[in-house]
Amino acid sequence: FIQSDLQEEDDAVGRRVQCDGERATVRYVGEVPPTQGPWLGVEWDEPGRGKHDGSHGGVQYFTCRHPTSGSFVRPQKVSFGVDYLTAVMKRYQGDLEEVMNEEITISRKTIEWKGVGKVLQKQRAEKLTVVSLEHCEVCGAGADHEIQKATPHVIHLDLTGNLLSSWVTVAAITEQLEELKHLLLCYNRLSPPPEPLSLTHAFTNLCILSLKSCALTWPQVLQCAPMWPHLEELYLDSNNISDLHRPDNVLQSLTILHLSNNPLDSESLVQIAELSRLEELNLASTGLSTIQFSDWWVINELDKLKSLVRLSCQRNPVMEWGNNPATAIQFLIARVAQLKFLCSCEIQPEERRGAELDYCKMFAAEWLENGGQRDLEKSHPSAEFTTQHPRYETLIQKYGAPEDGELKKQKPFALKNQLLTLTFVCPDEEDRQPVEKKLPGSMIVQKVKGLLYRLLKLPASELRLSYVSSKMEGKEIVINNDLKPLDFFSIEDGDQVLVRWTC
């Protein structure tokens, strides 16, 4: 498509353009009375960039998803982009044409390497395995088979923020890159293919795909998914994904799925439990807010993902449950057995043990009221309790039923109920008197150490903390992460914290 072809509306509508550094999709080509000459009606990727919803003078020329994302611009002000090879040559011109400026001397005569330089330029392009064309206005493949000849060994291709308009266009590029494994298409707007299975050959070896900020919905992802038969990592951050549906017969090879910054419906989250190979799930900033004590079943469903070892859900209201993030973290650890990393932090064995023990104590009374028995052979908790706490019986088998003195009643999360009375003892210096302090369980260890420096008047030194509990006689538990809150280590009211240091 070139500007002289504007009369061919079918070729222009749907195409991607760039104008003044902003990307848009052409929705209309033609005149806009009373002005003369052709206009392009465009829908901007950035909604605030436009002035209207596609209407002018009472006439609706095209439609937009947002009321201020439409504009009319003159054709000569926009760029429709360049083909893949043109972008490669321009992007890597400094590397590929370096030899073009070299000269050699033969028998006192200086000869330029023009012909030889072009050959070497071609040879260098053929050796490229990583091609980054971010924001290079790529709009298509160009001449048939030329990509395969010029850059046949590309493994990693970054086409972020270009002018690609459809998956058919993308496939025309990737089908010529037979070794391609990693593909980044962030910030593009791609219309779904009419027959996804017909494009499978273009993504045969693809294992990593990033589609961040592509304005995608989950149905659109599932519609395209048959094209990616061997996909292992899928990044869908910052799209329009809300309701999730079962990925039947697609995406079954996924080990990593990122859904951060999407307006997810928490109830539909259970649909991805079908992804049996999933090891890492990122749900950060997805608005998961409906999870309460009574319906943590959404998180329970994640326990069905037996390969899931990494879970990220920062910046969600659920992480502020009871105004105590530490408690929410403990519940997540206790309810999802196979997790090894939560919110980018590795779960230590003692952290899991503490979280699971605390969980057992928290719901022990409810368990007993609903058919649970300390004689586990006679224990038959109700179906309602088991539905809400599917791991509880397993944990009781692991740790044993809590004794009467260990039963915890769920208290309101007022600050006074979160304060822990702790005794700080310096076992290596018997002359120092123990210090008793009331501290919030949400206080991070780093701040506790700062308080101890002031209380104990220590010189510059490295503090090492651990604690002992009357409920675990003879066992000293190391507090080994300065960025965790006290609650994370299952420290309880009345425990004794041991303070040691090295100068």
Mean pLDDT across the stretch 359-374? 87
Mean pLDDT across the stretch 478-503? 84
- Sign of the CA dihedral 361, 365, 369, 372? positive
pLDDT, tens only, 95-105: 555 444 444 43
Mean pLDDT across the stretch 291-302? 54
- What is the overall mean pLDDT for the chain? 83
What is the spatial distance between Cα 465 and Cα 10, in angstroms, rounded to a whole number?
A: 71
Q: Residue 443's CB: how many other CB atoms inside 10 A? A: 17
Q: How confident is the model at residue 217 (pLDDT cuts 50, 70, 90)?
A: very high
Model pLDDT, residue 314: 72
Q: Are 346 and 480 in contact (CB under 8 A)?
A: no
What is the spatial distance between Cα 324 and Cα 333, in angstroms, rounded to a whole number?
A: 15
Model pLDDT, residue 233: 96
Beta strands at 233-235 and 256-258: parallel, antiparallel or unpaired: parallel
User: Does residue 125 surpass a pLDDT of 90?
Assistant: no
Q: Are 329 and 352 in contact (CB under 8 A)?
A: no
What is the spatial distance between Cα 173 and Cα 85, in angstroms, rounded to a whole number?
A: 10
Nearest to 315 by CA among 280, 288, 297: 288
Model pLDDT, residue 469: 83
What is the spatial distance between Cα 332 and Cα 303, in angstroms, rounded to a whole number?
A: 10
Mean pLDDT across the stretch 205-218? 96
Model pLDDT, residue 384: 82
Torsion angle, alpha carbons of 106, 108, 109, 111, to 10: 40
User: Does residue 144 surpass a pLDDT of 80?
Assistant: yes
More confident position, 336 or 343: 336
What is the spatial distance between Cα 278 and Cα 338, in angstroms, rounded to a whole number?
A: 12
pTM tops 0.75: no
More confident position, 92 or 16: 16
Model pLDDT, residue 291: 39
Q: Which of 225-229, 303-307, 424-428, 492-496 has the highest mean pLDDT?
A: 225-229
Model pLDDT, residue 405: 64
| Listed range (133-137, 192-196, 388-392) with the worst mean pLDDT | 388-392
Model pLDDT, residue 117: 43
| Listed range (333-337, 409-413, 484-488) with the worst mean pLDDT | 409-413
Q: Which of 55-64, 310-319, 426-435 has the highest mean pLDDT?
A: 55-64
pLDDT, tens only, 315-332: 766 665 555 667 778 888
Mean pLDDT across the stretch 306-322? 72
User: Does residue 380 surpass a pLDDT of 60?
Assistant: yes
Mean pLDDT across the stretch 149-170? 95
Q: What percent of the chain has pLDDT over 70?
A: 84
pLDDT, tens only, 49-70: 898 999 998 899 999 988 999 9
**3-class secondary structure, 398:** helix
Domains recognised in the chain with CATH numbers: 3-77 (2.30.30.190), 153-353 (3.80.10.10), 364-406 (no CATH), 415-502 (3.10.20.90)
Mean pLDDT across the stretch 292-318? 68
More confident position, 24 or 273: 24
